[in-house]
Amino acid sequence: MNEADVIARLRRHAIDPAARGLLDDVALLDGLVITHDTIAEGVHFLPFDPPASVGWKLVAVNLSDLAAKGATPAGALLSLTLSADEEWDEEFLGGVEAACESYGLPLIGGDTVALPRGAPRVLGMTAIGRAGGKTPSRAGGEPGDNLWLVGMLGDAAAGLAQLRAEPKSAGALVDVYRRPVPLLAAGQALASCARAMMDVSDGLLLDARRLAEASGCTAVVELGAVPLSEAFRQTRGGSQEARLFAATGGDDYALLAALPADVDPRAFDLPKGSVVTRIGFLEDGGAGLRLVNGGQPVDLPATLGHEHRG
């Protein structure tokens, strides 16, 4: 079974309103926004990544889901797999603690289990946030809404590619891959106006299609508008191929929001240095995705992003 098959199967049971039809990355229960993310060695992090960065990343990816709902961090439960390497475990926990302190996320419980020697590490966290006045889901977008992105694309995927080619690589792209930054303040600023919002973790094209499908619309993404950092351009350039790489790579933890056509988030009180880009719009035509570049149609790539498959 792939990820979509599993979610479709579980929808038959997840009928409580808190589940939001399993169309979202979070549950909404009695004013609390609840999410759970797992990261696995060889899938979400490399075996030679510094353990402190793995701990940081586990916290950050969970907080990114809260950011996409405009929530304020309230607490976290840690699922820790213990290995035979006590030094690795200690450094990992240091990374968890550093991220929790940085974003005001109290650790309130969890569970531990010992792994067989040599087994890949699988680490999980449940993050809980307090909902604001509005908690946008993936659904709710309407034809005519503009699609706005807060953040950059492609840096983490480019950093991962560098590490796979040379494990001792360092620099800005590697830093983005290893230590993502959850956009909590930006999410809180956008939540009140967003008809739909989610974080971009599996690739812009895949996640835009998911938002469109949940909203019953077609997402039209302008490839030429995909925001690329200077470090990315210096490494991979700004060609259509490079932009497709950035739009499908994943691990970005940017925010994707569908906003009414008369709302421009660049006028919002966002954190200094926020990169805000209009990257497309929603239209009628059924749930789906169209890709254009300079207004001209572009064939969708075979892979839109990262989907888990059994």
Q: What is the pLDDT of residues 73-126, one digit of tens each?
A: 999 999 999 888 899 999 999 999 999 999 999 999 999 999 888 889 999 999
Whose tokens are 């996320």? That residue is 105
Confidence at residue 104, expressed as pLDDT on a 0 to 100 scale: 97
Read off the CATH number of the domain in which 28 is found: 3.30.1330.10
Q: Enter the tokens of residue 193.
A: 């106006």
CA distance 251 to 309: 17
Mean pLDDT of 20-31: 81
- Token digits of residue 85: 């390497």
Structure token digits, residue 132: 């604001």
Determine how many CB atoms are found less than 10 A away from the CB of residue 220: 19
What residue type is 81 in one-letter code? T
Checking if the pLDDT of 182 tops 60, the result is yes
Which of residues 130, 159, 175 is at a domain's end?
130
| Residue 53 reports pLDDT greater than 80 | yes
| Average pLDDT score over residue span 31-51 | 94
User: Residue 13: pLDDT above 80?
Assistant: no
pLDDT tens string 211-232: 999 999 999 999 999 999 999 9
From 83, 102, 130, give the residue that closes a domain: 130
DSSP E strands: which ranges in the chain? 27-29, 32-40, 72-82, 107-114, 122-130, 146-150, 196-200, 218-222, 254-259, 276-283, 288-293, 296-298
Q: Which of 9, 4, 2, 44 is nearest to 210 (CA)?
A: 4
Q: Which residues contact 135 (CB under 8 A, 6 or more apart)?
A: 26, 28, 33, 69, 70, 71, 191
Q: Mean per-residue pLDDT for 130-136?
A: 96
Higher pLDDT, 153 or 85: 153
pLDDT value, residue 116: 86
- Asked if residue 140 belongs to a domain, the reply is no
130, 163, 187 — which closes off a domain? 130
> Would you call 103 helix, strand, or coil by DSSP?
coil
Number of domains the chain contains: 2
Model confidence at 277: pLDDT above 90: yes
Q: Rounded mean pLDDT of the chain?
A: 93
Residue 111 included in any domain = yes
Residue 32 belongs to some domain of the structure: yes
**Strand 107-114, strand 72-82: pairing:** parallel
| 287 belongs to a structural domain | yes
Residues 169 and 99 in one domain: no
Sign of CA dihedral 69, 75, 81, 84: positive
**Measuring CA to CA, which residue among 57, 51, 121, 126 is closest to residue 93?**
51
Residue 240's identity, in one-letter code, is Q
Among 65, 43, 70, 66, which Cα is nearest to 54's? 43
Q: Would you say residue 236 lies in a domain?
A: yes
Please state at what angle helix 240-248 crosses helix 155-165, rounded to 10 degrees: 90
The domain of 36 spans: 3-130
Residue 15 pLDDT class (50, 70, 90 cuts): low
Match 């498959």 to its residue by tokens. Answer: 309
| Distance from C-alpha of 185 to C-alpha of 187, rounded to nearest angstrom | 5
Q: Are 196 and 141 in contact (CB under 8 A)?
A: yes
pLDDT at 229: 98
The encoded tokens of residue 207 equal 């996640």
Closest CA to 196 of 142, 118, 253: 142
Establish if 167 belongs to a structural domain: yes
